[in-house]
Every structure is written in structure tokens, then in C-alpha cells.
């Protein structure tokens, strides 16, 4: 009687040593998980940095919300651009 262990193994090649089941699936899952964790921080950091620099410039030059709004909006655009760039990179590497 043959017992099923639940793991599928590729045919073993004596020169390669033990093989892991589904090596590409685990690696791609880890990459997707890392991307999902990283993206909100990238987006928020761009907006916060732009807003903080704008706030500091407003305090320095007494132009209350002017630089905050301009640099906050530029941070928003930069954050969206970075999100699109990273997502398009992850889409092209997935096909490899």
C-alpha cells in the first residue's frame, strides 16, 4: 500500500540533491507579500516628506498653506508614480 503524503516531488536527479516542492511558487508568494507590505509605506512617505518640507518652508517664509499644499500635492503625485512604477515592475517579472 502506498501512502500519500500530500507533497509532490519532481523526479530526483542524483547530482542536484534533495528537491523542494514548488520552489517558484513560494518565492513568488514571498515577493508579492513583500510588495503588498511595502507599497503603503512608499506612498505615505512621499506625501509626508513633501508636506513636511512644505510646512517647514511655510514657517520659514510666513506663507502659511502655500508651500504645504504645493509640495504635499507633488508628494502625492510622486507617491502615485512610484506605486505605478513598482507595480508595473512586479508585473513584468512575474512572467519569467
Write out pLDDT tens, residues 13-51. Answer: 555 556 555 567 778 888 889 999 999 999 999 999 999
Q: What is the structure's pLDDT at 27?
A: 80
Count CB neighbours of 51 within 10 A. Answer: 19
Q: What is the pLDDT of residue 91?
A: 78
Indicate left, alpha or beta for 13 from its phi (over 0: left) and psi (-120 to 50: alpha): beta
Sorting pLDDT into bands at 50, 70 and 90, what band is 1? low
Amino acid at each position: 500500500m502506498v501512502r500519500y503524503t500530500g507533497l509532490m516531488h519532481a523526479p530526483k536527479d542524483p547530482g542536484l540533491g534533495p528537491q523542494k516542492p514548488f520552489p517558484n511558487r513560494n518565492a513568488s508568494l514571498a515577493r508579492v507579500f513583500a510588495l503588498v507590505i511595502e507599497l503603503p509605506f512608499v506612498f505615505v512617505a512621499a506625501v509626508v516628506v513633501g508636506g513636511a518640507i512644505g510646512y517647514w518652508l511655510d514657517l520659514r517664509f510666513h506663507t502659511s498653506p502655500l508651500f504645504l499644499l504645493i509640495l504635499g500635492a507633488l508628494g502625492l503625485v510622486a507617491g502615485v508614480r512610484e506605486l505605478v512604477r513598482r507595480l508595473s515592475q512586479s508585473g513584468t517579472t512575474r512572467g519569467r
